[in-house]
Structure 1
Amino acid sequence: MARTDVRFRAAFNQTLDQLAGLAPGDALPSELKLADSLKVSRTVVRAVLKRLAEGGVIRLEGRNKSLLRPAQTQDHLPEREDYISLRELEGRFLDWVLRFDVPADTSLNVTQLAKQFLVPPHLLQEFLASLGQFGLVERRPRGGWRLLGFTADYAVELSDFRTLLEVNAARTVSTLPKTHPVWAAIDALDREHVQLLDRIETDFRDFSPLDEKFHVTINAVVKNRFVTDFQKVISLIFHYHYQWDKQFERDRNKAAIGEHRRIIAAMRSGDADAAQAAVQAHLATSKETLIASLRVNHLDQDWHQGPLGQVRATEAP
């Protein structure tokens, strides 16, 4: 990519970021002010404004320039040919959390991580903001982001809501005709589970992406945008590196493979009640593991083990 094109793309995206503070109808700064703030020539600024007008973001009428509509993610230009997509970013972020020791309360350097993940900073900012609505990260008062831990309350509420969604999805799959495309995907998933089981002694960490794929495939039969967003949170929570007791990770993943295959068998039988029971059993195990991991990591100060399971300390007899 030519140096002049790189400069143009960077200036274009920076201009979009500056426009975020304007409302439709507001006037844009002068070409001189834009050139000064972007550290580029007025020739580059004119090219940027022309491109924005062609995209319907701004209106140009002589020297008058006004905003027509708010800028959207897709308006930004890739500043490098090797930039990855948002979907790939989600995967790389999860893998970074899984494969490396990233504890709670870690400060996130957007500039550094953007280079590491090969994404433009604005895309990483938007991704972190989407995680922020679920309490996984937070914006620091003086700028930047911080990776958060989470409490037993958060874990239990998340687990219970997950069960509601996934039981509904599994029951739905059980009622679908065998000609539905989901069955081919489930058959392929079953084969992948068997293959991973054969090499579980060495490749047990490969279960995390397979687990995500399994749950996403089943949940996808329920056409609901909130389920899709929630599945991202599931991935980042239930496979979150520092929650798990690594000593038992292999055995835990091996057991989960068996639970997944029992869910598959129940759905194949067309018995919605059996599918529901299998899902509930699997997610109950997941919930127990999550709570146990919080104890290991000293994140459950207000919980204790009672005769009926996990209860609040304030509810203890």
Structure 2
Amino acid sequence: MARSDTRFREAFNSLLDVCNTLPVGAELPAEAVMSGAVGVSRTVVRRCLTRMAELGIIAWEGRGKHLLRAPTADDRIALPETTVGRDQLEKRFLGWVLQFDVPADTPLSVAELARTFDVAPHELKEFLASLSRFGLVARRPRGGWMLRGFTREFAIELSDFRLILELDAIAKVAEAPVDHPIWQRLANLRLEHEALARRITTDFHEFSKLDEAFHQAINSVVRNRFMEESQKVISLIFHYHYMWDKTHEMDRNRAAINEHMAIIDALEARDTARACEAARQHLRTSKSTLLLSLRHHALG
């Protein structure tokens, strides 16, 4: 489906939402106002108004446009399926920020970024809204979005919050019953870590996925919707940063494998104190790596 048709569909549905805020018989805002509200040209707005008139939603006589009835769900136009998955969109967004060293407080053009990432504008807005909950992006006072930035302060705050969450998860893993699925996951992860350690000189770049799987397993024992939501942005930032700075990557990943193994050893021994201390050491290392990555990209 052509991007122009997608924009028309999204604009039409957005204008239906505008109409639903008005009483029947009310005059519609000026075309320029509607154009700014939904982020499309006046030409697209007029196409939308023409369709609304055909459906009997509005009366259009000269410059006057009045609402004849409230729009219904049947009036809306189906949107195309996304061509890019959420994970891919996250990678493209972070890659764009890093590649161009986008500074804090940079205004974000939804229309332009949607074209850049090959996603529908409404999907990009939903993605930005999810990041806004963690202060990574923010709505601008007069509409639109801005990047608040991967600043040093952001990295430190996120690292400190991560430490609290994961130490709680570590304690819960140590207390898990013997038949809990986490123990089989840890056994499998031990084998995967040992295998990667043996081929670290050639496959060290594979650590990022293994690191993500390890932390997901640890955090899976906590059933808390707020923690699950927080882990999304933590995973997004911490596991993607391994792609940023390639300096001494093999040595860093070899050391991280050993740190993971120390946590697994302590957990399988049901030694909560040792597991928590091993986790603190690993997360301190991860925090340092993140801050160095930011500095490497002039974002810190």
Correspondence for 2:130: 130
1:47-196 matches, cutoff 5 A? 63-65=68-70, 77-80=78-81, 83-94=83-94, 96=95, 101-105=99-103, 108-139=108-139, 145-196=145-196
Distance in 2 (alpha carbons) for counterparts of 1:149 and 1:162: 18
| Fraction of identical pairs, as percent | 43
Q: 1:102 to 1:169 in 2, by over 3 A?
A: farther
Gaps of 5+ in 2: 35-42, 58-66
- Name the residue aligned to 2:232: 232
Structure 2 CA distance for partners of 1:26 and 1:228, relative to 1, 3 Å: farther
Q: Would the alpha carbon gap of residues 205 and 153 (structure 1) be closer, same or farther in structure 2, given more than 3 Å must change?
A: same
Partner in structure 2 of residue 39 of structure 1 = 47
TM-score under structure 2 normalisation? Answer: 0.70
CA contact (8 A) 1:108 1:144 kept: yes
Secondary structure of the structure 1 residue equivalent to 2:248: helix
Q: In the alignment, which residue of structure 1 is the partner of 2:218? A: 218
Query: What is the match of residue 315 of structure 1?
Result: none
Conservation of the 8 A alpha-carbon contact between 1:12 and 1:76: yes
Question: By how many angstroms is 1:268 displaced?
Answer: 2.0
Q: Give the aligned length.
A: 272
Contact conserved, 1:173 with 1:267, CA < 8 A, in 2? yes
Distance 1:112 1:25 in 2: 30
Which letter does structure 2 place at the counterpart of 1:209? K
CA drift at 1:36: 7.1
Distance 2:96 2:185 in 1: 27
One-letter amino acid matched to 2:99: D
**Tell me, what secondary structure is at the counterpart of 1:176?**
coil
* Equivalent-residue separation in structure 1 for 2:117 and 2:147 (angstroms): 16
Deviations 1:91-139 (A, max 9, x none): 5545x369x6342327655345434544311111121122133232345
How far 1:169 moved relative to its partner?
0.4
Distance apart, 1:186 and its partner CA:
2.9
TM-score (norm. length: structure 1): 0.67
- Alignment match of 1:15 (pick from 12, 15, 18): 12
Cα 1:43–1:104 change in 2 (3 A) is closer
**Matched AA of 2:251:** D
Pairwise CA distance, 1:166: 0.1
- Per mean C-alpha deviation after superposition, the further-off stretch among 207-216 and 169-178 is 207-216
CA distance in 2, matches of 1:299, 1:85: 27
Deviation string 1:10-55 (CA, Å, 9 cap, x unpaired) is 655333333555777855988xx999726155389649x8xxxxxx
* Corresponding residue SS for 1:270: coil
Counterpart Cα distance in 2 of 1:262 and 1:128: 37
Q: 1:221 to 1:29 in 2, by over 3 A?
A: farther
Aligned-partner Cα distance in 2 for 1:299–1:37 = 39
